[in-house]
């Protein structure tokens, strides 16, 4: 692990910006939020914003990633294996995250949000896979991680559309097939 100490000023300022952005997005939709609004709310200089983020879309990505990661509570099962429980927890975190987003108004940015979710999931899955399969081929694990992230995300979309059962129940039904495979040509 490359341990880099981050300047505390950077941490503070990033937090100010992110918090202000999240606060503002309670009230208006993304397309109506300007950089000026954010920096005014955060009481920082506009130039400072551009020191940390390319533009407002960059902020959207990073802010959502962070909120999602907090939802995922990554640290807590960073060392867990990829069990049924872990799987269910991740799935539930994703559905919770999407629920929290549907309150805010990010219309027109669904694709961006979807991509962010999948990217974060992919990183998470890959780390877990590598930990238990250090001997296996890297490319294969990458591909599995990609498929899992798309799969989980798709399942969450489907569950959101017609949610008859709990997220846990919904996903656990599928877990055996993921764990033991679908067994072609039995």
Which residues contribute to the site for DNA (CB under 7 A)? 5, 7-10, 12-13, 34-36, 43-48, 50-52, 54-56
Q: Report the residue from 2, 43, 47, 186 that binds its own copies according to the rule CB under 8 A.
A: 43
Rg, Å, the chain Cα set: 19
DSSP for 101-133 reads HHHS--TT-HHHHHHHHHHHHHHHHHHHHHHH-
Query: Of the two residues 17 and 171, which places its CB atom closer to its own copies in the complex?
Result: 17
* Euclidean distance between CA atoms 67 and 154, whole angstroms: 20
Tell me if residue 9 falls in helix, strand or coil: helix
Query: Of the two residues 22 and 178, which places its CB atom closer to DNA in the complex?
Result: 22
Query: Of the two residues 44 and 94, which places its CB atom closer to its own copies in the complex?
Result: 44
| Choices 8-16, 27-35, 91-99, 144-152; region in contact with its own copies by CB under 8 A | 8-16
Tell which residue, 24, 17, 23, 3, has the closest CA to residue 51: 17
Q: Applying CB under 8 A, which residues contact its own copies?
A: 8, 11-12, 43-45
């Amino acid at each position: 692990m490359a341990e880099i100490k981050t300047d505390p000023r950077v941490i503070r300022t990033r937090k100010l910006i992110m918090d202000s952005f999240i606060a503002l997005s309670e009230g208006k939709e993304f397309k109506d939020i300007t950089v000026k609004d954010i920096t005014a709310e955060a009481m920082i200089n506009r130039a400072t914003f551009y020191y940390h983020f390319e533009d407002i879309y960059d902020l959207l990505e990073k802010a959502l990633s962070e909120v999602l990661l907090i939802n995922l509570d990554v640290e807590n099962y960073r060392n867990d294996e990829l069990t049924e429980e872990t799987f269910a927890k991740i799935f539930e975190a994703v559905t919770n995250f999407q629920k929290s987003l549907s309150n805010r108004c990010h219309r027109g940015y669904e694709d961006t949000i979807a991509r962010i979710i999948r990217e974060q999931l992919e990183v998470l899955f890959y780390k877990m896979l590598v930990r238990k399969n250090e001997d296996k081929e890297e490319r294969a694990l990458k591909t599995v991680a990609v498929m899992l992230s798309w799969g989980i995300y798709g399942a969450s979309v489907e569950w959101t559309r017609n949610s008859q059962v709990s997220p846990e129940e919904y996903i656990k039904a599928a877990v055996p097939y993921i764990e033991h495979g679908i067994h072609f040509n039995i």
